[in-house]
Structure 1
Amino acid sequence: MEEVIDLKKLFKILRKRIYLILSLTIAAIGITAALSYFVITPIYQAQTQILVNQKANDQEAYAQAQQLETDLQLINTYNVIIKSPAILNKVIDKLDLNITTEMLAEQIIVSSESNSKVVNIKVLDTDLEKAISISNTVVNVFKEEIPKLMSVDNINILSEAKISKDSSPVKPNKLLNILMGAVIGFVISVGFALLLEFLDSTIKTESDIEKFLALPVMGLVGAFPTEKKYKSRKARRT
């Protein structure tokens, strides 16, 4: 028969090991905070936006609606072209970057909302100024090369990446890391406390004798007084 532990007994075990649980939890918080603030390299993000839109002319309403649909369909293609070697090789050459196109592609995030002609280009790097430079160069190179690659000219730059007063790292999220460290530390410490309790096979009470040795308790011996208590009793008698 499996041993069932009720909530009262579980709470008693946790209260008994409370100092161990608190110590391990605080240690986990301290380690996570130290890693987040002093070890993990901060990552900055720079973002530019482009608008996919043909130049206005005197087209009829039907032709304009058809062109809108065409622009939306082209966005998925543009998202792939932006991270292609045809664009990134020129970016690497212009900025004299000592990385491969695959490494640069991993730093770039291209996204667009559904049915939106605005494309967001984000660049992650440990250096904020470098991230901004890469982001702006990618957009400019893409705008120059897309007419040659696809014979279309429907790219407009909405916004360029710039350094702002609140340009803080996007990674690591220090507060989130510390909270996660606290939760993980607490879970591990509780598990460790329970493990210590279950591995402890020493007999402490008369109920333990009946439980583990299957022997009836015939009598109890009171606790012997300590030397200090014994002397105090002896002094009172005299």
Structure 2
Amino acid sequence: MELRELFFIVWKKKWLIVLITLISIIASAIISFFILPSEYETYTTLMVGKSKEYSGMNQGIEYNDVLLNKQLVSTYGELAKSRAVGQKVIEDLDLDMSHGAFSEKVNVSLVNDTEIIKIVVSHKDPEETAIIANKTAEVFMEEVKEKMKIDNVQVIDKALVPEGPVSPKPMLNIAIAAVLGIMISVFIIFILEYLDNTIKTPNDVEKHLGLPVIGMIPKTADK
């Protein structure tokens, strides 16, 4: 089929594209604004330094200690996500959630080639989100001091109450729904056209029957 034919096939059923696209947009807006729960996100960053007992030593040992801390950053990350930290935060804040649910809400990311750990928390309540993030950082610092004997853990950025939700994103969802609506409607149009084997034009006679058209009877208005 030529490009022009394809265009006219779509154009004559443009009402179907408009209808399906509008339905997709309206459904996406309703789900995004009224059904999906809002999720808020905040973070706190920590820097794990060397033990204070080494503060008086020379620069060479200090540099080696920094390198060692960088290598241990992944260990700190696993400790921050451990059951010991999670259960302590849940108990201290009296949270109504399991450790599994807590782990889904708390994500520990490691800043490459640094001694910085970023603790990101997502939750449905903005104020509680900041409280959980700061409490997780506090418990993590206690665990590092107790289990790894490192007493130089500092908070760089304290978690703040998020101003707005990070999800859902209604405008993005609506835009995606509009694109999907157009794609689905065009696909349906081509399926309907493929299944329609009726003869409508002289070209259809030649194409389907293999017979030349020798004449046409014009349609006239009834009198």
Tell whether the 8 Å contact from 2:110 to 2:118 is kept in structure 1 after alignment.
Answer: yes
- Structure 2: how far apart are the matches of 1:22 and 1:185? 9
Q: Secondary structure at the match of 1:152?
A: coil
1:220 Cα offset (Å): 2.3
Kept after mapping to 1: 8 A contact 2:49/2:66: yes
Matched with 1:215 is 211
Amino acid at match of 2:104: E
Find the counterpart in structure 1 of residue 183 from structure 2. 187
Root-mean-square deviation (Å): 1.5
Residues 21-70 of structure 1 show CA distances to partners (whole Å, capped at 9, x for unaligned) of 12211221111111111111110012111111124722211101011011
Write the letter of the residue equivalent to 1:128.
Answer: P
Match of 2:59 among 55, 58, 61: 61
The residue that corresponds to 1:27 in the other structure is 23
Alpha-carbon distance between aligned partners in 1 of 2:203 and 2:142, rounded to the nearest angstrom: 84
Q: Which residue of 2 aligns with 1:136?
A: 134
| Identity, % of aligned positions | 33
Count how many residue pairs are aligned between Structure 1 and Structure 2. Answer: 221
Task: Show the 5 A alignment for 1:136-155.
Answer: 136-155=134-153
Q: Give secondary structure in 1 for the equivalent of 2:166.
A: coil
User: What does the per-residue CA deviation read over 1:125-145, in whole Å, with 9 as the maximum and x for residues that have no partner?
Assistant: 111112111111111111112
Indicate whether 1:7 and 2:3 are aligned: yes
Once residues 113 and 106 of structure 2 are traced to their aligned partners in structure 1, the CA distance between those partners, rounded to angstroms, is 22
SS in 1 for 2:143: helix
> Secondary structure at the residue paired with 1:209?
helix
TM-score by length of 2: 0.93
Q: CA deviation at 1:217?
A: 3.2
2:97 is equivalent to residue 99 of structure 1: yes
| Residue in structure 1 matched with residue 106 of structure 2 by the alignment | 108
Deviations 1:204-234 (A, max 9, x none): 12222232223343432221322xxx2xxxx
Can you list the C-alpha shifts for 1:109-154, whole angstroms capped at 9, x where unaligned?
A: 1112211122110111111112111111111111112121112213
> Partners in 1 of 2:203 and 2:118 — Cα distance?
69
Whether 1:51 aligns to 2:51 is no
Q: One-letter code of the match for 1:71?
A: N
Q: Which amino acid aligns with 1:101?
A: H
Structure 2 letter corresponding to 1:39: I
Q: How does 1:191-210 map to 2 (within 5 A)?
A: 191-210=187-206
SS at match of 1:48: strand
Q: 1 CA distance for matches of 2:187 and 2:208?
A: 24
Runs of 4+ in 1 over 6 A off after TM superposition: none
Hey, what does 1:234 align to over in structure 2? none
Distance of 1:61 and 1:146 partners within structure 2: 24
CA distance in 2 between counterparts of 1:83 and 1:12 reads 59
**Conserved? CA contact 2:129–2:161, under 8 Å:** no
